[in-house]
Amino acid sequence: MSKPSSSPKTATSRRAFLQGGGLLLGFALFGAGIKPVLAASTAQPVDGDVTAAFAPDAFIRIGTDGLITLILPNIEMGQGTHTGEATLIAEELEVSLDQVKAVDAPPNDKLYATAALGGQATGGSTSMRATWEPLRKAGATARMMLVAAAAAEWSVPVSECVARLGVVSHQPTGRQLAYGALADAAARQPVPAEVKLKDQKDFQLIGKSSRRLDTPGKVNGAVKYGIDIRVPDMKVATVAACPVLGGKLGDVDDKAARAIPGVRDVVRLDNAVAVIGDHFWAAKKGLEALDITWVEGANANLASANIMAALKAASERKKPIMARQEGDVDGRMKAAATKVEATYELPFLAHAPMEPINCVVHVRPDECEIWVGTQVPAIAQGLAAKVTGFPLEKVILHNQLIGGGFGRRLVAESVAQAVAIAKQVSYPVKIIWTREEDIQHDLYRPAYYDRIAAGLGADGLPTVWVDHVAGGSVLGNYIPGGWPEDKLDDDAVEGAAKPPYDLPVIQVDWVREDPPVPITWWRGVGPTHNVFVVESFMDELAHAAGKDPVEYRRALTRNQPRAAGVLELVAEKSGWGTPLAAGMGRGISLHDAFGSYMAAVLEISVSPAGEITLHRAIVAVDCGITINPNTVEAQIEGGLIFGLSAALYSGITFTDGRVDQSNFHDYRILRNNEAPKIEIHHVKSSESPGGIGETATVSAAPALANAIFAATGKRLRTLPFNRDALKTDGTDKKSVSMIPPLAAPLAAALASAKPADTELEKL
Amino acid sequence: MIALNINGEERNVDVPEDMPLLWVLRDVIGLTGTKFGCGIAQCGACTVQLDGRPVRSCVLPVASVGARKVTTIEAIGATPAGKKIQDAWLDLEVIQCGYCQSGQIMSASALLDRNPDPSDRDIDAAMSGNICRCGTYTRIRAAIKQAAKA
């Protein structure tokens, strides 16, 4: 099975207890070859679970009617996890994917925890890594019990029986029994003590591009996301939190709001106010009609420049916490023939999933029922229990299909808010945040200020590498009392501490400077931040040494076979080194994160006005055994575009304690006409599967920075990239990074215009 | 009462005239396939068709619909272009989270209906008003081209 990686990594793990509901949430960095595992291995069916005659474990239910239900520990939010996890079970259970029904696991930290995350959570590109072994074992265990039941029924040796496509056959006689017919008998079989998993060469489903299970209902409006839930007597609410971060609600005059037809209730919370109506439109109009006085609090003067200045000061003055220190760093730096230094700045980022934050809650006198799409169902349940004062078992949470997570739904503070609103009324209520509320009250990817330096030897290669990271502790938000002052938050240096290069003399440290802004994980977590710095700087070193960027990395990956593998493949497939037209440039990025290796080349052009066109991306990936190649490619395509959006456009800024951005016109997302062509090439691998949901997001910004440098000779070290800095045409016209929002009267005019004019908003 | 023709059915709804069609569909009639994304016609998740033309229903006052026929994602499969688009979407596994895809499919179907052989520029013009946060753009483009050949 899995072999230890050639990458000299060690696993660092850390755990923490989350106060809300006393639930466990930790986080771990995985060294390749260290297998995260699911906690579940018990044969106990769960309360509220799917019941069936044969329920050998927490994941598989086979009814006497032949219905096979797979209870999957990780949530589907577009990344293909349901299909992937069902594939693992089906491979060993010997059924096809069209014979199974996939459902979400109920909240249960004991049965469905991802050990690496310390709780029931979907994130950090851990799902397939965590379930790779346990779900195949679950499938194999169930199959062995079904086969044993058939053998007993026929009084023949087990060795004469074979399972295939949900049927057990007795080979010598050709007798057959379907799984449904065996369900009762299989349930009486002993659970086998030893389970042998298939050899890789015998895989029927793993490695094939099976059809996704979740998509047929997504082409015709049939599937229901959390926001689509409708329960009898339900009302709809929308909410406004204090626009100043951390501020409180003062007075509310709701007279005008209550006069609006369809407005039912106005609900006050400590830091927010909600209006409940018969439908969202009444609630929204009602909210706009409120006369609210906010108590702005300590952040009333907060500005982005202050936050970055505080990070810079901390980086220069505070004593760092060491992440890695090897060799004579100071001595080498003094002795270096050439010293290169640079500073990089990264902004706060919102997640902006397409499905706005929402939650349906009914708080009854003795129980609380919740319908919500969440990456952390057990945490959400715990928070609801805390808000209502009910015991956990009186909080029934139905997890829903998610219209985009990206880390936003790894926190459940909006569920707590929804329960606090619903607690004040007797009827069920669906709370929907406006997009403005979503952008302005997210928990953001932290801003960072990183100083990095290297000394180069006579051959131009680094003899010493020093990376000083400065930023807040994301993990601290998950821990009562915050992250301990003297402890390393590995997330802050993930992607920096162990770059896939031969760098024997290295120091990587972290200065903690928590911003007065709520923060959490964002797609690509630590590596999206750190690899931008590492890979941009690697290019800077190549330039300083007068070497080609690929040649330079090649010289530094002699002992990194998997990194070298993707580097060579991408160089070959991209035609690296072949001439490009004037104004064009190619940039490369290489990294190792989430147990996968990736090299990406981006081909771009920069116009004299500073506008960047993304022509082509060529990606080489080694993600170990590929469970579903089509899904891997989809995640690379989408992940890359997600990262390119951020590099070109995204940055959350603050003025007077308020978020400056509000919607997709000023928090821009890459559009279809801006997306590059993307080619993906696989390095065939028999290593355990690596994570893939975030891998390409990590590649995007550094590949783009390096391509911009190749095209223009300008090194951009601050995200998002300032295209005005790339202008060469002498004009002072600002580059377009914002689309004017539709003012309400304009929107109305546009919407009611003749059909021919409304085809596409001409913005 | 406002009279609407939605997916071939006559509906009378008792709602404020300025209520956007999106919320009439979702919260009054119960057709939840049309999605709320931004509320200001920036993302295209709410796209429906009026007499075959794509419009952003989040900024479309219900009173302005008039006699025009409303088609939503729930019924687009009954049109020849819609069926081809849906089939190509599934065949090329365009979809990830899927939340924006109702709007993408409505825009793409309208494009294909009036332009059986769209060029890349045509696709740019028709599809750049629909944001996909999962980044499925390259497959959307490929699927439109495949549907055009079907």
CATH number of residue B123's parent domain = 1.10.150.120
Between helix A525-545 and helix A549-556 the angle, nearest 10°, is 110
User: Interface pTM (ipTM) of the complex?
Assistant: 0.98
> For residue range A726-759, what is the model confidence (pLDDT) as tens digits?
999 876 666 555 666 654 544 554 544 444 443 4
Domain count, chain B: 2
Confidence of residue A9 (pLDDT cuts 50, 70, 90): very low
Chain CA centroid to CA A512, Å? 23
- Residue B73 near chain A (CB below 8 Å): yes
Token output for A391: 């015991």
Judgement on whether residues B58 and B88 belong to the same structural domain of the protein: no
Choose among B34, B99, B105: nearest Cβ to A404. B99
- Asked whether residue B47 falls in the same domain as residue B104, the answer is no
Whole-angstrom distance, CA of residue A518 vs CA of residue A247: 13
pLDDT digits (tens, 9 = 90+) for A216-228: 999 999 999 999 9
Does one domain contain both B94 and B118? Answer: yes
> Fold for domain A226-298+357-432?
Aldehyde Oxidoreductase; domain 4 (3.30.365)
Percent of chain A at pLDDT > 90 equals: 83
pLDDT at residue number A479 = 78
Residues of A in contact with B125 (CB under 8 A): 673, 760
Which H or E run contains A311?
Answer: helix A304-317
Tokens of B44: 């295209």
Give the domain-ending residue among B30, B45, B71: B71
Give yes or no on whether A35-210 and A304-349+444-726 have one common fold. Answer: yes
| A47 — pLDDT class (breaks 50, 70, 90) | very low
Same domain, B47 and B83: no
Sketch the domain layout of chain A as residue ranges: 35-210, 226-298+357-432, 304-349+444-726
Please tell me whether residues B33 and B82 are part of one structural domain.
no
Query: Mean per-residue pLDDT for A90-111?
Result: 92
Say what the pLDDT of residue A435 is.
98
Q: Yes or no: say if A361 and A374 are a contact pair by the CB < 8 Å rule.
A: no
pLDDT at A109: 83
How close, in Å, is residue A213 to chain B by CA atoms? 11
Closest residue in chain B to residue A758, using alpha carbons only: B55
Task: Provide the β-strand partners of residue A465.
Answer: A454, A506
Q: Does B125 touch chain A (CB under 8 A)?
A: yes
The verdict on B60 and B21 lying in the same domain is yes
Query: For residue A671, which residues of chain B lie inside 8 Å, CB to CB?
Result: 128-129, 131, 137
Domain co-membership, B49 together with B85 = no
B88 and B56 in a single domain? The answer is no
pLDDT score at A4: 31
| Chain A CA closest to residue B66 | A752
Chain B residues within an 8 Å CB radius of A238? none
Confidence of residue A110 (pLDDT cuts 50, 70, 90): confident
Non-local (6+) Cβ contacts of A101 within 8 A are: A67, A68, A69, A70
CATH of the domain at B36: 3.10.20.30
Inter-chain CB proximity A742 and B34 less than 8 Å: no
Q: B141 with B88, same domain?
A: yes
A354, B123: Cβ pair inside 8 Å? no
Is B91 touching A (CB cutoff 8 A)?
Answer: no
Interface contact flag, B96 A432, Cβ < 8 Å: no
Q: How far apart are CA A89 and CA A76, in angstroms?
A: 16
CATH topology of domain A35-210: Aldehyde Oxidoreductase; domain 4 (3.30.365)
pLDDT of residue A33: 30
Nearest CA distance, B29 vs chain A (angstrom): 11
Whole-angstrom distance, CA of residue A445 vs CA of residue A347: 8
Whole-number pLDDT of residue B117: 97
pLDDT tens, A48-73?
457 789 999 999 999 999 999 999 99
Span A715-733, pLDDT tens digits:
999 999 999 999 998 766 6
Residues 6+ apart with CB under 8 A from A142: A54, A56, A57, A60, A62, A93, A186
Tell me, what DSSP letter sits at residue A709? H
Instruction: Give the helix, strand, coil percentages of chain B, each rounded to 5.
Output: 45, 15, 40
Verify whether the Cβ–Cβ distance B73 to A403 is below 8 Å.
no
Average pLDDT score over chain A: 90
Q: Do A354 and B54 touch (CB under 8 A)?
A: no
State which of B56, B71, B86 marks the end of a domain: B71
HEC string of A113-162 equals CEHHHCECCCCCCCHHHHHHHHHHHHHHHHHHHHHHHHHHHHCCCHHHEE
- Same-domain status, B93 and B125: yes
Q: Could you give the residue ranges of the DSSP H alpha helices within A243-302?
A: 255-258, 280-289
Q: Which residues does chain B have with pLDDT short of 70?
A: none
Residues B84 and B55 in one domain: no
CATH number of A304-349+444-726: 3.30.365.10
Q: Please state the rounded mean pLDDT for residues A191-207.
A: 95
User: So what's the pLDDT on residue A478?
Assistant: 78
Q: Tell me, what's the pLDDT at A24?
A: 30
Range(s) of the domain holding residue B24:
2-71
**Interchain proximity A675–B51, CB inside 8 Å:** no
Beta pairing partners, A598 = A591, A621
Residue A125 has pLDDT above 60, yes or no: yes
Chain A residues in contact with B28 by the CB 8 A cut-off are 279
- Smallest Cβ distance to A748: which of B59, B100, B132? B59
Neighbouring C-beta atoms of residue A740, cutoff 10 Å: 10
What pLDDT does residue A200 have? 93
Residue range A580-618, pLDDT digits in tens = 999 999 999 999 999 999 999 999 999 999 999 999 999
Under the banding of pLDDT at 50, 70 and 90, the label for residue A22 is: very low
| Site of tokens 């279809």 | A672
A258-278 per-position pLDDT tens digit = 999 999 999 999 999 999 999
CB contact under 8 A, B43 and A664: yes
Looking at the DSSP bridge assignments, the partners of residue A129 are none
Q: Would you state the structure tokens that stand for residue A56, as one six-digit string?
A: 């050998």
Measured between CA atoms, how close is A347 to chain B, in angstroms?
19
Distances (CA, A) of A624 to A38, A69, A138, A202: 19, 28, 22, 17
Instruction: Report, in this order, helix, strand and coil percent for chain A, each rounded to 5.
Output: 35, 25, 45
Residue of A238, A281, A739 to mutate for B, most B C-beta atoms under 10 A? A281
| Boundary residue ending a domain (B71, B94, B113) | B71
- CB A234, CB A428: distance < 8 Å: yes
Cβ-nearest to B99 among A355, A759, A760: A355
pLDDT of residue A476: 85
